Structure 1
Amino acid sequence: MIQRTVSSLYTPRNEQGFLGAGHVARSVLTGGFAKTDPFIFLMDDMLDKKDDEPAGGPHPHAGFETVSLLIDGEIKERLESMKKGDFQLMTAGSGTVHTETIDGPTKGRLFQMWLNLPRQDRWVPPRIQILPAEHVPVLHKEGVTMRLYSGSLAGIHSPVKNYTPLIAAEFDMEAGADISVQFPARFNAFLYVISGTVQIAGKDVNHDQVAWLDVSDTEDDSNLTMQAGENGARFVLYAARPTHETIVSYGPFIADTQAEIADLYNQYRNGKMKHIATTPEARKLTY
């Protein structure tokens, strides 16, 4: 079986977040979409908001999915509050509006990814999926706890439905513990370390580092073996099937042509994009 190794390693830098004081943001992915496909970007938002001034607000999206995982703390928003370990996947698809307004003091750390939709699914009707922390499938194995938010891994399965096949898993490993997992060799995959150190094929991946894995153009499975360092390790693994398609990205929209981007802006300005809260109940899934 193909053994996964680390192909690149880097540390994203802290930047001032758009919510103002108390918001530190990191842009986790680098290198452009041709390299990170199907991952468009991943923001690591660290919030320590201490005032009562409203921050954020409603805004549109279309042509992709948002994949949100609250790593720590709690984010109290007007419509979409989350607690530690909650997972949400919003399919913006043909176009929707969602609200991220934080009124009061908030402390939490949120990973939010934009995940590309395959071209044939780009304009599907909007859908929201919510997987509360208490219902996330969990694997306990010899010093390793794995929480599986999306996909199938190590014999357990998430109920979340995917247009783009996606594995999203959080690992919490005791010092010296190890685990091997298998997933398709053609999946693009990376780890983002929250604390401690994890070793992959002889290479240490430390706190705050991003490690991209090598990828093979084959239908076979691959094996990823990970061992925690002397202080243990906590990290998130993302792996997904590339679309091998080009995209046009502008503002809050993803499309295949510039004309489609212009049309999306017209729809939004003319009030034709409905709020995700108005989505039919059949497309609001809570597990």
Structure 2
Amino acid sequence: MSGKHRKNPLFLSLRTTGGLVAGAALVGTVAATAAHASVADPSAARPQAASMRLADAAMAQNTVPLAKKNAPREAAAVRPQANGSAAKGAQKPATAPAARRLPTAAQAIKTATSQVGISEDGAGKTKFQQWYMGTDRAKQTLARDGGSLGEYAAAEWCDMFVSWVGQQIGFSDQFGADAWTVAHAKWFQQQDRWGTTPKPGAVVFFSWGGGKSVEDIQHVGMVIKDNGNGTIKTVEGNTGGGAVEIKTRPTATVVGYGYPDYAK
């Protein structure tokens, strides 16, 4: 209906300043001895060469730059703490926001058809009107259309039903929300998501007299499928005896369709 409403120990003694001098003296002594031995007895050169290598190693061990000796200590300053947490002051990597998971048309249809059989109570009230009255959108539509909040309690609720489905699947930004079919259809046009092709999950707007102007709209539902014979299968609220029902409708009574941007 139209209703408005996420260490090398060998050279340990050389590791002081005095040790460094002693090491240098040792190198000089070994070098001089080796040179003399090589002149007096060439065959002694090989063992002396080994001594030279040993002296060289001692010198090298004691001439490592200070910065290099301190490297392990410096590295420890930035090593992760024992509990696995980063050192104090370390920057944590940024966490990318989770991508929004869009519902499918099939999910929307399943939600809508799960309500088939729900009907008005004796006063013409349903949970759909009650839900709508608790939304911020109801306040907005009241400011637009006038009236009082209580009037929604027993108002025509076909559009409140469609709006409820959008909210249930977390897709209100694609379904829109309203109590007045004409204004809801205009919202789809403003979003550039309006057309004349029946698609599963589309919001369908009817005019029983066959009018094609948005102003002619009298009722709204959701397309389940295109039957391919000039009719569509729909699920609608506030139809028949004031209930949620599955219907077959001629496309001749359709003014247009609103298309939520479902997951493909």
What's the TM-score, normalizing by structure 2? 0.26
More strand by share: 1
Higher helix share goes to which structure? Answer: 2
Rg larger for: 2
